[in-house]
């Protein structure tokens, strides 16, 4: 990596440097700070200026990412069959895939989509956590404040009442979200909201 090439202005744009590892992250992000976005049938992704999409994420077609939300490394939001909407202060973590086909994928506000989760045409209400590696199949509605456990497989067409806790394959409602689950939901979106800000300083949106 050619450090000189970046110049002093770029090298000082990030947060205070904390050792070599952080310095490398700063440099690499500046070198590759380009979102991968594709227009599809005249529709192109729209990312709010107060959102952040990682350089290696791929957005295709009619995707809209609202203010305060983040899409992490290797995530794919492919709206070549139906639109994708991500509300405010939500996060789509690394390696997650959103690919609606029959109906739109609507992700509400303050929602966490865990690493590697796969969602088809789903309607996810506000303050929901979809756990790491969960699969949420077509035409599912996830009620406000629900938690889908890591690895759960939510069958197509399921209508999940607000405040539900789901686990397993096929996923079943095993109870209501308890205060500890609610804390997890709140901490997750807040944490990613904060984390996003530090990445926005390293790799500002390129439009």
Ligand X SMILES: CC(C)(COP(=O)(O)OP(=O)(O)OC[C@H]1O[C@@H](n2cnc3c(N)ncnc32)[C@H](O)[C@@H]1OP(=O)(O)O)[C@@H](O)C(=O)NCCC(=O)NCCS
For residue 173, state whether it binds ligand X (rule: CB under 6 A): no
Extended strands (E) in the chain: 36-38, 46-47, 52-53, 58-65, 70-71, 76-86, 91-92, 97-98, 105-107, 112-113, 118-119, 122-124, 129-130, 135-136, 140-142, 147-148, 153-154, 159-160, 164-167, 172-176
Using the CB atoms, write b or e for 109-123: b if 16+ within 10 Å.
bbbbbbbbbbbbbbb
112 interacts with ligand X by CB under 6 A: yes
Considering only the stretches 21-29, 56-64, 73-81, 143-151, report the one whose residues sit in contact with ligand X under the rule CB under 6 A: 143-151
Q: Which of residues 43-82 bind ligand X (CB under 6 A)?
A: none
Shorter beta-carbon distance to ligand X: residue 161 or 168: 168
Select the residue interacting with ligand X from 188, 196, 202, 203 (CB under 6 A): 188
As to burial, measured by CB atoms within 10 angstroms (0-12 exposed, 13-18 middle, 19+ buried), residue 3 is exposed
118 binds ligand X (CB under 6 A): no
- Give the nearest distance from C-beta 81 to ligand X in angstroms: 26
Where do we find the tokens 């202005």? 9
Q: Pick the binder of ligand X from 45, 61, 95, 131 (CB under 6 A).
A: 131
Q: Judged by CB under 6 A, does residue 142 bind ligand X?
A: no
- For ligand X, which stretch binds (CB under 6 A), given 35-43, 52-60, 155-163, 181-189? 181-189
Q: Which stretch binds ligand X (CB under 6 A): 42-50, 70-78, 82-90, 144-152?
A: 144-152
> Between residues 6 and 184, which has the closer beta carbon with respect to ligand X?
184
Closer Cβ to ligand X, 28 or 184, answer by number: 184
Residue ranges of the alpha helices (H) in the chain?
3-11, 19-31, 179-202
Give the residues lining the site for ligand X (CB under 6 A). 112, 114, 131-132, 149-151, 167-168, 181, 184, 188
């Amino acid at each position: 990596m050619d450090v000189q090439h970046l110049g002093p202005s770029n090298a000082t744009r990030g947060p205070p440097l904390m050792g070599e590892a952080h310095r490398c992250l700063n440099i690499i992000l500046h070198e590759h700070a380009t979102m991968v976005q594709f227009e599809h049938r005249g529709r192109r992704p729209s990312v709010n200026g107060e959102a952040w999409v990682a350089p290696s994420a791929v957005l295709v077609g009619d995707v809209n990412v609202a203010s305060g939300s983040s899409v992490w490394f290797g995530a794919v939001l492919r709206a070549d069959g139906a639109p994708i909407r991500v509300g405010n202060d939500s996060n789509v973590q690394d390696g997650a895939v959103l690919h609606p086909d029959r109906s739109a994928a609507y992700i509400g506000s303050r929602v966490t989509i865990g690493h590697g989760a796969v969602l088809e045409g789903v309607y996810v209400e506000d303050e929901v956590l979809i756990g790491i590696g969960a699969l949420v199949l077509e035409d599912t509605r996830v009620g406000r404040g629900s938690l889908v456990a890591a690895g759960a497989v939510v069958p197509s067409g399921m209508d999940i009442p607000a405040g539900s806790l789901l686990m397993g394959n096929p996923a079943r409602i095993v109870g209501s979200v308890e205060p500890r689950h609610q804390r997890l939901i709140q901490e997750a979106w807040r944490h990613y909201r904060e984390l996003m800000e530090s990445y926005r300083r390293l790799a500002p949106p390129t439009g």
